[in-house]
Amino acid sequence: MTARAARADGNADDLDVEEALALVRKHPDGTTDTPRPTHPRHDATAWPDARAVAEGAPRHGTGGRTGGRTGHLPPVAVPLASALGLTLAAPLTALTDLPSFDTSAMDGWAVSGPGPWSVRDEGVLAGHSAHPPLTDGEAVRIATGARVPPDTTAVLRSEHGRTDDKGRLHVTAATRPPHTVTHGQDIRPRGQECRSGDQLLPVGTPVTPPVLGMAAAAGYDTLTAVPRPRVDVFVLGDELLGEGLPHDGLIRDALGPLLPPWLRALGAEVTAVRRVGDTEEALYEAITASGADVVVTTGGTAAGPVDHVHPALRRIGAELLVDGVRVRPGHPMLLARTKAGQYLVGLPGNPLAAVSGLLTLAEPLLRTLAARPAPEPYTLPLRDGVQGHPYDTRLVPVALRGERAVPLLYNGPAMLRGIAAADALAVVPPGGARPGQEAELIDLPWASGGIGVCFT
């Protein structure tokens, strides 16, 4: 795609929106009437339907790596260190009792029978072998997590005991009668948390840091999980620069840095990020050589002189599942099945339009392949009104302020300034939204999970 073509494509999108907004008649109370124009792409898919098609596509394909009706990739054994963010494909079952022996819950003394007690010279530390049984009237220093000696009655906390000048241990806690302890106090009995064979977590559980800790405690070195879908990113456009300032009709590539970490946040393993020349042959060769589960392309999805995605897909014999979506920005996006078990998500070349395509088609597709749970839908009232498109959904960057969503400026198809400051995208229905109207929100990964969590 040339720089001129890229600008023309962006202007066309902007003009479409401006012309459409001119068709929306506003009333003094802020409401609008939306006429029923003939849509220039009557065969484009409605935005909710496009998301549903992308989510269901792996369940209806044949062959490849997907797991039949589930649509997810075949499970693999994954070391704990690599399993964060995956989804359990087998129940997490306890391999041992937890704890596997009676342990001290506190630093203090293991005691036997009523006090006062004579104290052994050698203490009991965590990780050491079993100690001889205690006899009535005997105590031993013990550390948190250490295995209690046989015939221990209780553990007396350090702050609840004292030794006299003869080395005898006494209870000092004001809440207890002198010389007494409660049987079993501050001892974690074997099997308190679970017994060997108990199901700890079911299939479909996302692997979070606590899940990793639970698995390690239960004796696991690997987890059976659904792997990350492999994604190749092909950035199209001869006008794109990889570094430095724009000059001489050349512009910086924004999507090359933006897409890979975002795709990782959506559960993908990005296996390649390549610049592909603006020719049909170059694109055809790149797609047919890819062994990824999903190919993501940027630009070239419209019908301009250097828009080669459709011709390349026809040459491959791909099945177009979504060819255009009634959403702004990003309506020329597409989804195709290029071969058994491989999909192509064609994103528009304008940055915010590409983000729209990423969240409309790539997110639900990758979620199914990775067996990740769908986010819970939610709404918030809009602080300000948002003008709408007469017949298309709009995705508008918003900042979350308390219990309201604040629409942000700089939300044109070629702009990233709005989304860079956003917490979510508001789904604005055709015709627009009034101030205070509830809008569905799509959270952005860094707003819900934190940078360090979502981009690993």
How much is the pLDDT for 39? 47
How much is the pLDDT for 354? 94
How much is the pLDDT for 108? 93
Could you tell me the two tokens for 365? 């597709």
User: 354, 422, 426, 423: which is closest to 386 by C-alpha?
Assistant: 426
Q: How far apart are CA 58 and CA 339, in angstroms?
A: 12
Place of tokens 């017949």: 391
How much is the pLDDT for 174? 64
Beta strand spans in 183-285 (E)? 187-188, 199-201, 222-226, 230-236, 240-241, 251-252, 269-276
Q: Are 187 and 154 in contact (CB under 8 A)?
A: yes
How much is the pLDDT for 178? 62
How much is the pLDDT for 238? 61
Run means of pLDDT, 10 residues per run, the chain, 456 residues: 37 42 45 47 87 94 63 96 95 93 93 92 76 90 92 92 89 69 92 93 95 94 97 81 71 81 94 89 94 93 82 95 96 96 94 95 97 93 95 96 95 90 96 96 79 50
Distance set, CA 83 to CA 80, 227, 379, 445 (Å) = 5, 9, 32, 19
Q: How far apart are CA 357 and CA 377, in angstroms?
A: 19
Place of tokens 């029923």: 36
Could you tell me the two tokens for 304? 């301009």
- Burial (CB < 10 A; 0-12, 13-18, 19+), residue 204, is middle
Q: Are 154 and 108 in contact (CB under 8 A)?
A: no
Amino acid (1-letter code) at residue 222:
T
Please name the helix (run of DSSP H) or strand (run of DSSP E) that holds residue 26, with its range, or none: strand 25-26
How much is the pLDDT for 452? 46
Residues 6+ apart with CB under 8 A from 385: 30, 432, 433, 434, 435, 437
Q: How far apart are CA 378 and CA 396, in angstroms?
A: 16
